[in-house]
Amino acid sequence: MATAQKTKIKDQLIELSIPTADGNFTAHYSGQGLVALGFPAQKSNRVLSTNPKTSVQILRWHRATANALKQSLAGRTAKELPPLDWSGRTDFQQSVWREMLKITAGKTRSYGEIAEQIGKPKAVRAVGGACGANPIPVLVPCHRILAANKKLGGFSGGLDWKRRLLGREGIVV
Which DSSP symbol is given to 149? G
Sign of CA dihedral 165, 168, 169, 173: positive
What are the DSSP E strand ranges found in 5-149?
Answer: 14-20, 23-29, 34-38, 109-110, 145-146
Rounded Cα distance between 111 and 79, Å, is 25
Q: Are strands 109-110 and 145-146 parallel, antiparallel or unpaired?
A: parallel
Query: Considering 18, 36, 73, 142, which one is annotated as catalytic?
Result: 142
Backbone angles phi and psi of 27, in degrees to 5: -100, 140
Q: Are strands 34-38 and 23-29 parallel, antiparallel or unpaired?
A: antiparallel
131 is catalytic: no
Report, as residue numbers or ranges, the catalytic residues. Answer: 142
